[in-house]
Amino acid sequence: MSDTARCVVVTGAGQGLGRSVAMAFAAQGDAVMVSDIDGARAASVADEIIAAGGTAASAPADVSSELDVIALADAAVSQLGVPRVWVNNAGLTRPAMLHKMEVDDFDLVLQVHTRGTFLGTREAARRMIAADVDGLIINVTSSAGLQGTIGQINYSAAKGAITAMTKSSAKELARRGIRVNAIAPVAATPMTEKLRVDEKLAGRFLDSIPLGRFGEPDEIAAAFTFLASDGGAYVTGQVLCVDGGLYMAS
């Protein structure tokens, strides 16, 4: 590993957008800690990075578990160095109409998204502050958290909380040299597969996107690396919508 390689932690990186984000950071020379609740998937992505000549390690983590997130941060420090970029990407969905939604499904989505983002942000900030280094935390929100969506009140609530946490933590951590931003993507990933394969749902959703398509994970990953580049150094407390114009058109 190069002495100048940054440690970048990406949660939910075993597939989909998280995998693409991990690969994008690795391709530009960063040392990536690939994390996922599925440890085998995380290890596979790390192996792929290493096979391509990059630097990576992996660690399983349930981001809703405080002990898991602490262990993930410790593993990153011991294997790759103090995290300079931390991406809170892990998530899931449990869709249902409001009157049919079970409390357990509401709680689970908030635990993974909201609690997971809080824990990742806290542990990243603790280590950046202790090492006295500048850093960047990137959260993943959604248009659902900006404007709501039908059949996903749990997801909308969780993503809305992430938007608010992003702004609050950006204000709090700026004096420490730590920037916090969020990205709201519309990506062709396993999480959106049901929406994309259902002809009726897909048609209705695509009609609401001015560019008329889902973003590819690799092109959305470029927004993450931009925020972590010199070009993004003056950006904090922002929500970057990489959504083909969805939020603009709403």
Positions marked active-site: 155
Q: Which amino acid is at 51?
A: A
The structure tokens listed for 53 are 């000549």
Alpha-carbon distances of 111 from 33, 87, 114, rounded to whole Å: 22, 17, 6
Non-local CB neighbours of 15 within 8 Å, separated by 6+ positions: 36, 41, 189, 190
CA distance 88 to 129: 18
Q: Are 245 and 210 in contact (CB under 8 A)?
A: yes
Strand order, beta sheet including 83-88: 55-60, 31-36, 7-10, 83-88, 135-140, 178-185, 239-242
DSSP structure class, residue 64: T
Q: Are 39 and 16 in contact (CB under 8 A)?
A: no
Q: Are 45 and 22 in contact (CB under 8 A)?
A: yes
Count other Cβ atoms within 10 Å, centred on residue 118.
Answer: 20
Q: Are 202 and 196 in contact (CB under 8 A)?
A: yes
Q: Which amino acid is at 167?
A: K
The stretches of 88-135 forming alpha helices (DSSP H) are: 103-110, 116-131
The structure tokens listed for 5 are 């390689």
